[in-house]
C-alpha cells in the first residue's frame, strides 16, 4: 500500500509537502522587485527597527578579526548590508537564498552600495546547504524561516555549518500577546495588506499568503524548543512590538 504524501501548510491551505517550496518560490518571484518597499508598508517602517535590534545582537567585530556570516533567505541583502556597515574589515557575509529574483535584487543593491567585496550571493536551499561543516561564525535568517517547508532540517543545517561558539539568530513574525492589539493586527493584516499588495505589485494573493503564513508559524516558545532540539544551547527569545515579531537566539557550544 502506498504511504500517504506528507501534508504541510501554505498559508491556510493544506498542500503536499513537496509542493510548498514551488509555491513559495512563485510568491517571491512575484514580489521581488518591490519586496523592500512592501516591507516598509506592511510594518509601517518597523522592520528597520527590528533588523537594527538583530544586528545589535549579532554584534559583529569592528576590528580586522575574520568573521564569516551566513545570511539565509536574505536575498535582497538587507541584513548582510547592515552588518557589513557595522563591522570591521575582517567581516564577510554570504547571502544564501533559493530565489534567483531576490538574489538579483540583492546583487544590484550590493553594487549600488559598493559592498560587492564584502557580501557574496549564492543560490541555495536552507534545508540542504552546500557549505562545509563549521564554516561560519554566525547564521542569520530574517522573515524567512516560516517559508521553509521542513524547518527542522533548516535548523539542523544551521547547526552544522556554524563553528563551535557560533551564534544562530532568527527574526520572525510571531504571536501578538497584547490584548486589543491582536484584533487590530488581524484587521490590518487581512484587510489592508493584500489590497496594498495589489496596488503596489499587482499581486494580492502573494500577500494574502504572507499574512496567513504568519498565523501558521509556531509560537515563540514552541519555536525555541525546536531550536533546542536541533542541538543549540542557551536558546532564548525576545518579543518585540507586543509580540508582532520575535528574535530567537541559540549557540553552537
Domain boundaries, the chain: 24-252
From first to last of the 253 residues of the chain, give the pLDDT tens digit.
444 456 565 555 555 666 566 666 666 666 667 777 777 877 888 999 999 999 999 999 999 999 999 999 998 899 999 999 999 999 999 999 998 888 999 999 999 999 999 999 999 999 999 999 999 999 999 999 998 989 999 999 999 999 999 999 999 999 998 888 989 988 988 888 888 878 877 778 877 878 888 888 999 999 999 999 999 999 999 999 999 999 999 999 9
Given the candidates 3.40.50.150, 3.40.50.10490, 1.10.10.10, 2.20.25.90, the CATH classification of the domain at 24-252 is 3.40.50.150
Mean pLDDT, the chain, as a whole number? 88
Residue with C-alpha cell 533546542?
Answer: 228
177-201: burial string, b at 16+ Cβ within 10 Å, e else: eeeeeeeebeeebeeebbeebeeeb
DSSP labels for 49-89?
HHHHHHHHHH---SSSS-EEEEEET-TT-HHHHHHHHHS-T
CA–CA gap between residue 183 and residue 204 (Å, rounded): 21
CA–CA gap between residue 253 and residue 165 (Å, rounded): 5
Cβ atoms of residues 55 and 82 within 8 Å: yes
Mark out the alpha helices in 91-145 (DSSP H runs). Answer: 100-112
Render pLDDT for 146-194 as a digit per residue (tens, 0 to 9). 989 899 999 999 999 999 999 999 999 999 988 889 899 889 888 888 8
Amino acid at each position: 500500500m502506498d504511504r500517504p504524501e506528507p501534508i504541510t501548510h501554505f498559508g491556510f491551505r493544506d498542500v503536499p509537502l513537496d509542493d510548498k517550496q514551488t509555491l513559495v518560490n512563485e510568491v517571491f518571484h512575484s514580489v521581488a522587485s518591490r519586496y523592500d518597499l512592501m516591507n516598509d508598508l506592511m510594518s509601517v517602517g518597523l522592520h528597520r527597527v527590528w533588523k537594527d535590534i538583530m544586528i545589535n545582537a549579532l554584534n559583529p567585530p569592528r576590528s580586522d578579526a575574520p568573521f564569516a556570516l551566513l545570511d539565509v533567505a536574505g536575498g535582497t541583502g538587507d541584513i548582510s548590508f547592515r552588518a557589513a556597515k557595522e563591522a570591521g574589515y575582517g567581516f564577510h557575509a554570504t547571502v544564501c537564498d533559493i530565489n534567483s529574483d531576490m538574489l538579483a535584487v540583492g546583487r544590484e543593491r550590493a553594487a549600488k552600495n559598493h559592498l560587492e567585496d564584502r557580501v557574496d550571493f549564492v543560490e541555495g536551499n536552507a534545508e540542504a546547504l552546500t557549505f562545509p561543516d563549521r564554516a561560519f561564525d554566525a547564521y542569520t535568517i530574517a522573515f524567512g524561516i516560516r517559508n521553509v517547508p521542513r524547518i527542522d532540517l533548516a535548523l539542523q543545517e544551521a547547526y552544522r555549518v556554524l563553528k563551535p561558539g557560533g551564534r544562530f539568530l532568527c527574526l520572525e513574525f510571531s504571536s501578538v500577546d497584547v490584548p486589543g492589539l491582536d484584533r487590530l493586527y488581524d484587521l490590518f493584516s487581512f484587510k489592508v495588506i493584500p489590497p496594498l499588495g495589489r496596488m503596489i505589485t499587482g499581486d494580492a494573493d502573494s500577500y494574502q499568503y504572507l499574512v496567513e503564513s504568519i498565523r501558521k508559524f509556531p509560537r515563540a516558545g514552541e519555536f525555541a524548543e525546536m531550536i533546542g532540539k536541533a542541538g543549540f544551547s542557551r536558546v532564548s527569545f525576545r518579543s518585540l512590538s507586543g509580540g508582532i515579531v520575535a528574535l530567537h537566539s541559540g549557540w553552537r557550544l
